[in-house]
Amino acid sequence: MTADQRPRGRVWLVGAGPGDPDLITVRGAAALREADAVVYDVLASPELLQLASPEAERFNVGKRGHEEITRSQSDINALLVRLAREGKKVVRLKGGDPFVFGRGGEEATACVEAGVAFEVIPGISSAIAALAYAGIPITDRRHSASFAVVTGHNDPTRVSKETRWCELATASDTLVVLMGMRNLESVVGQLLEGGCAASKPAAAVMNGTLPSQRVVVAPLAELVQKIRDAKLGAPCAVVVGDVVQLRDSLAWFEKRPLFGSRVLVTRPADQSGEMVSALRELGAEAVVVPMIRLAPPADLAELDAALGRLAGYDALLFTSANAVRFFAARAEEIGGSILKDAPPIACVGPITAEAARSAGFSVALVPSDRCDAGGLLEAVSKRWSPRGRHYLLPQAEAARPVLAEGLREGGARVDQLTVYRTLAAKVDADALRGQLRDHRLDAITFTSPSTAEHFAALLDEESRKAAADCTVAAIGPVTADALRRLGLAPDWVPDEPTVRALIEGLAVRIGREPAGDER
């Protein structure tokens, strides 16, 4: 293939926002899903990389202000051009906004000079978002009608020459300094010399928009020392202006019930999204360490045979959303029309029923009282008398026999069908035990007995004791019983076995007082 025959690639310069992955734009997320390659900075949330296809190439260029530069800017420009010339759709994922101290202009120019098509997808700059999450409006007609955003990332010996700090001291109502922690003492000195009042309200916001966000508020003349005392570091947005006074009444982010908490999520990575979102919504940091992974059975012959005679069953019984997904996925692989012959469907609870409907099933029965195998047994027995019936029960390899045995006792034939296996996930056990021993986890969540079993198997005596000091939450009674058998009695089991109920109850139990300023 000649160069002229290659498919034409393109580059998207995408702003990842200030840290919270929920702040990515709709257009930016769409570009990530479409990308063949992602070139990203360390300030971009790792969670955003999951939006890209597993097949997409990923290039960590490591830029973080003046630290951790693994590639020069010219190298990055050349990489973008090379990937695009190979016909790839390339996302250049940059913290904040590409054109706000992000060198996006230089990368766009490199594309123009190379004849590569590009598009700029703006992002939310930390100059605005970090302040907003700290309860500090960048403008407010009572205090500020103008603002300036400046980089403090310059050689300290030239800081007063390259940026006219003395003039900026009085040029706008609000001044925001990004990437300025290394040079902050020089910057503040120049602002004071330029006429900015020593008592001017000022603040520093570290890790803005993240659960680890910390805020220091002080008069400008005292700000540098207060930051040192609090041990704040980069990334940090510094703001100087009367709008800082509004933080006392407008701070909202730190008031979330789980703000600053770190919660271990043990469920499979591809199923953790709902829990991670629920935790983030309440201000917590989700630490995702999957204990298990799910896989189809090693031999699919039995599953394929059951799908082939689907119309011969009186009812199809699902006791988990995972069973639905694996059953429907295999049916789709060998011919989706098979599901048209499906008999009446009964599901153990609303989550499983939702998964079944999403897979195209029409759900005939969901227990109204108990969302477990016993509840489904009772509901099925009332709706369809078991005697003489023939049921298909797709389930996990090591599923409990309660439902099948109960139906057989009632005179039914039950074909138990393994549609997925639960396997141990690869876990850095030393790192996990270290987090427990160092008390860096506030709570641990479990959504199945297998997550509890694999977690317990990784512990040594010291980390087991530390785990008991955390708030332990189980999604339902079966998981709770497994934890008790393992010596990790749960502190919280919701009445309704849903992720939302699990996290909301957790918030009540470990909710903290709103964080105060580090003055």
pTM, rounded to two decimals: 0.81
Each residue's pLDDT tens digit, 190-239: 999 999 999 999 999 999 999 999 999 999 999 999 999 999 998 999 99
φ, ψ for residue 263 (rounded to 5)? -120, 125
- pLDDT band for 511, please (50, 70, 90 cuts): confident
CB of 51 within 8 A of CB of 26?
Answer: no
The pLDDT of residue 46 is: 85
State the pLDDT confidence band at 5, using cuts at 50, 70 and 90: low
Is 63 a residue of the active site? yes
> Which of 493, 486, 447, 431 lies closest to 464 in space, CA to CA?
486
The pLDDT score that the predictor gives to residue 300 is 93
What is the predicted pLDDT for the residue at 369?
Answer: 78
Strands 147-151 and 262-265: unpaired
CA 516, CA 254: separation in Å to the nearest integer?
Answer: 8
Q: Does the pLDDT at position 260 exceed 50?
A: yes
Domains in the chain (CATH in brackets) are 9-123 (3.40.1010.10), 128-252 (3.30.950.10), 262-291+425-510 (3.40.50.10090), 304-421 (3.40.50.10090)
In the predicted structure, residue 261 carries a pLDDT above the cut 70: yes
Helix (H) or strand (E) holding 100: none
Catalytic residue among 20, 41, 173, 372: 41
Catalytic residue list contains 270? no
**Cβ atoms within 10 A of the Cβ of 256, count?**
20
Q: Are 43 and 16 in contact (CB under 8 A)?
A: yes
Q: 62-67 — which CB contacts under 8 Å span 24+ positions?
A: 64/234, 64/235, 65/153, 65/179, 65/234, 65/235, 66/153, 66/179, 66/182, 67/234
Q: What is the pLDDT of residue 210?
A: 94
pLDDT tens readout for residues 364-422: 999 987 778 888 999 999 998 899 999 999 998 877 888 999 999 999 999 999 999 99
CB atoms within 10 A of CB 352: 23
E strands, 328-412, are 345-347, 363-365, 390-396
Radius of gyration of the chain (CA): 28
Q: Average pLDDT, stretch 468-481?
A: 93
Question: For position 267, what pLDDT does the model report?
Answer: 94
- The answer to whether 494 touches 502, Cβ cutoff 8 Å, is yes
Task: State the helix-helix crossing angle for 321-335 and 301-308, rounded to 10 degrees.
Answer: 80
Average pLDDT over residues 65-85: 82
pLDDT in tens, 119-178: 999 999 999 999 999 999 999 999 999 999 999 876 444 555 567 888 888 999 999 999
For 299, residues 6+ apart whose C-beta sits below 8 A from its C-beta are: none
What is residue 161's predicted lDDT score, i.e. its pLDDT? 58
Task: Check residue 1 and give its pLDDT.
Answer: 45
Distance CA 66, CA 13 (A): 21
Which of the residues 63, 88, 94, 226 is marked catalytic? 63
Share of the chain above pLDDT 90, in %: 75
How many residues are present in the chain?
Answer: 519
302-328 pLDDT, tens per residue?
999 999 889 899 999 999 899 999 999
The pLDDT of residue 62 is: 79
Residue-averaged pLDDT of the chain: 90
How many of the other CB atoms lie within 10 Å of CB of 233? Answer: 12
